[in-house]
């Protein structure tokens, strides 16, 4: 069965997880993703995976889910003969995704303007913190900085405390990863009509601002600036929050719609609360206090079972190991076992996009550094002698 992106060739020039994750999504759906990596000793930052040697490194590769379904070639892009190899790859590629600081690919002469002269159909996607222009374009950063400047971090957490850091799920993955995949797919669709590739510029701060569209729309409408812990979706009302249970675990309640709130009030024996779902005065504090006491009377799992049966929007607050063993998660194959030559099997996160006719698949585990160098060079027409000479010069590995 053909995969949806079968025949699409992607070159990955990346250093960090959001970029690896984006190309993994494309690879899971059938794209031929080639990781272009730095040979040992050629990376001035010293963060090449080549420094990891031995059995532990081999085990690590088995579990690097973001690198599955990919091949790896190690090329020194600063060497003229290494650049020549890259140009041959780009001439036949559909997509290049890069995650360097703005200006780096231009200095290396592997930028869109250069590559488009070799291949007018090529799509180049740059993923950076602040985008390719503007006053912050050279400012270094990570997810916590991007969600700060994008306006999201200030909305996470209790209103009486400091902002809560939500892992790197917002700017890195929802921002950088998913927006770059969307951008690439849109460019591929546009190319079907125009026959031309194009440049895709993804700034993670841009994406964070976009993800706040609902809050921003309300601000434009009312002029009221949203505050941490004061919105109906971030802890201001008893109908939408987290409660501690008898076993010192937690339960999430999401009764936004009035009928779910009615079901909850009936389930806990407090029908008198029904008219006050959105109260902002003393009644709200009374309801908070009462629900906190009520939920402490039973365990998390007891409440989940009971409220589920009464059609209440409820969830168990899981630890990660619990989440991975939840029957719904398992049923949806969000944990899969992939065969491995020494590990037996290597568990992997499953594929969340379920396509009925052309589903994605995990066909190979993460490659070691330069594992496919010879294979790829032969595909480009290099002889064994030429490959040996490039390796002798330290241009490939």
- 228 CA to centre of own chain: 25
Distance CA 22, CA 13 (A): 12
Enumerate residues 6+ apart whose C-beta is below 8 A from 24: 33, 65, 66, 67, 68, 69, 70
Task: Return the structure tokens found at 9.
Answer: 């060739």
Residue with tokens 């009644």: 283
- Which of 172, 179, 206, 372 is labelled catalytic? 172
Distance CA 306, CA 288 (A): 20
Task: Return the structure tokens found at 145.
Answer: 């900085």
Following DSSP, what letter does each residue of 107-154 receive, concatenated?
HTT-SHHHHHHH-TT-EEEEEESS-SSSTTTT----HHHHHHHTT-GG
Distance CA 288, CA 265 (A): 12
Distance CA 26, CA 23 (A): 5
- DSSP 3-state of 304: helix
- DSSP 3-state of 213: helix
Q: Which of 36, 187, 31, 206 lies closest to 105, judged by CA? A: 36
Residue 167, burial from CB neighbour count under 10 angstroms (0-12, 13-18, 19+):
exposed
172 has catalytic annotation: yes
Distance CA 42, CA 90 (A): 21
133 has catalytic annotation: no
- Which of 47, 113, 142, 301 is labelled catalytic? 142
CA distances from 52 to 19, 39, 346 (A): 21, 13, 19
Catalytic residues: 142, 172
């Amino acid at each position: 069965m053909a995969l949806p992106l079968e025949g699409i060739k992607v070159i990955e020039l990346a250093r960090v997880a959001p970029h690896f994750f984006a190309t993994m999504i494309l690879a899971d759906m059938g794209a031929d993703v080639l990781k272009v990596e730095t040979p040992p000793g050629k990376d001035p930052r010293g963060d090449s995976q080549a420094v990891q040697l031995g059995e532990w490194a081999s085990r690590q590769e088995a579990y690097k889910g973001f690198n599955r379904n990919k091949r790896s070639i190690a090329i020194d892009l600063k060497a003229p003969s290494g650049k020549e190899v890259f140009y041959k790859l780009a001439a036949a590629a559909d997509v290049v995704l890069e995650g360097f600081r703005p200006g780096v690919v231009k200095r290396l002469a592997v930028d869109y303007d250069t590559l488009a002269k070799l291949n007018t159909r090529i799509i180049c996607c740059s993923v950076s913190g602040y985008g390719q222009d503007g006053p912050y374009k050279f400012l270094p950063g990570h997810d916590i900085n991007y969600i700060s400047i994008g306006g999201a971090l200030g909305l996470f957490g209790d209103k009486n405390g400091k902002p809560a850091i939500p892992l790197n799920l917002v700017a890195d993955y929802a921002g950088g990863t998913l927006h770059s995949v969307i951008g690439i797919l849109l460019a591929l669709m546009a190319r079907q009509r125009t026959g031309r590739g194009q440049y895709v510029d993804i700034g993670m701060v841009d994406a964070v601002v976009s993800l706040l569209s609902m809050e921003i729309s309300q601000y434009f409408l009312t002029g009221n600036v949203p505050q941490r812990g004061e919105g109906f979706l971030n802890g201001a009302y008893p109908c939408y929050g987290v409660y501690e249970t008898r076993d010192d675990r937690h339960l999430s309640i999401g009764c936004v719609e009035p009928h779910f709130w009615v079901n909850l009030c009936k389930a806990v024996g407090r029908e008198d609360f029904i008219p006050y779902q959105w109260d902002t005065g003393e009644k709200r504090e009374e309801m908070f206090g009462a629900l906190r006491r009520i939920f402490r009377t039973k365990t998390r799992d007891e409440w989940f079972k009971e409220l589920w049966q009464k059609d209440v929007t409820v969830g168990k607050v899981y630890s990660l190991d619990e989440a991975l063993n939840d029957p719904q998660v398992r049923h949806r194959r969000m944990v899969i076992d992939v065969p491995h030559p020494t590990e037996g099997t290597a568990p992997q996160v499953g594929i969340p996009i379920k396509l009925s006719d052309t589903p994605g698949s995990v066909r190979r585990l993460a490659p070691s550094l330069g594992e496919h160098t010879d294979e790829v060079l032969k595909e480009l027409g290099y002889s064994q002698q030429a490959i040996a000479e490039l390796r002798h010069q330290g241009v490939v590995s």
